[in-house]
Amino acid sequence: MTSEPARMHWTLAVLDPKPADRVLEIGCGHGAAATLLCEQLESGSLVALDRSAKMVAAASKRNAGWVEAGRAAFIEGSFEDVDLGSQRFDRAFAVNLALFWKRPGRAVPVLARLLAPGAVACFLWQGPPGSPPPAADSAQALVAALEAAGFAAPEILPRHDAEVSGIAVRASMSRP
């Protein structure tokens, strides 16, 4: 199994959050990345989504201090259906969320509407160490969807070592 600390640290290195960023996590699971991320945010905040009530409860409990401080919110709901009002985010990320890898043409435009100009979006697919990364055509389809939705300079960032085997796609929102 992929080492959770190594996997989460790689995720945050690719995301490269700034202390004041407003961050959206899509598919937060039990909140492991949220814990590490909130430690890096000084005046920023995190909104984390998950379809599972059980995962949202676990993430909220794990990060209760950040929730109480108003720096993190965990919301149950489908990414495509959740209403985040007028909130706009500086960073967004999803790890192992098939929605972006299998249906990027549907999911990426939804995300684009939630991002501030210049925002960075990162999508990571991580498997057990030694496993092959996802097929290159999956990453290329995601890159094409990002470009069509107004993202600039998508990068494909593979990692295959003793701790993490995966691929990341990172892009910046170029539209005003």
- What band does 73 get if pLDDT is binned at 50, 70 and 90? very high
Per-residue model confidence (pLDDT) at position 44: 98
Report pLDDT for 136: 67
Per-residue pLDDT at 41 exceeds 90: yes
* 117-149 confidence digits (pLDDT tens): 999 999 998 887 777 766 667 788 899 999 999
Evaluate if residue 155 carries a pLDDT over 90. yes
Across 43-51, average pLDDT: 97
Task: Find, among 47, 52, 58, 29, the residue nearest to 86 by Cα.
Answer: 47
**pLDDT of amino acid 103:** 83
- The answer to whether residue 158 scores a pLDDT higher than 60 is yes
% residues pLDDT > 90 (the chain): 69
State yes or no: pLDDT of 11 exceeds 90: yes
pLDDT category of residue 14 using cuts at 50, 70 and 90: very high
pLDDT score recorded for residue 175: 67
Q: What is the mean pLDDT of the chain?
A: 91
Q: What is d(CA 55, CA 145) in angstroms, rounded to the nearest whole number?
A: 28
Confidence of residue 2 (pLDDT cuts 50, 70, 90): very low
CB atoms within 10 A of CB 9: 15
- Kindly state the average pLDDT of the residues 49-73: 98
List the chain domain ranges: 4-173
pLDDT bin (cut points 50, 70, 90) of residue 4 is low
**Beta strands 115-127 and 165-173: pairing type?**
antiparallel
What's the CATH number for 4-173?
3.40.50.150
**pLDDT for position 1:** 37
The three-state (H, E, C) secondary structure of the chain, written as one string: CCCHHHHHHHHHHHHCCCCCCEEEEECCCCCHHHHHHHHHCCCCEEEEEECCHHHHHHHHHHCHHHHHCCCEEEEECCCCCCCCCCCCEEEEEEECCHHHHHCHHHHHHHHHCCEEEEEEEEEEEEECCCCCCCCHHHHHHHHHHHHHCCEEEEEEEEEECCCCEEEEEEEEECCC
The pLDDT score that the predictor gives to residue 176 is: 59
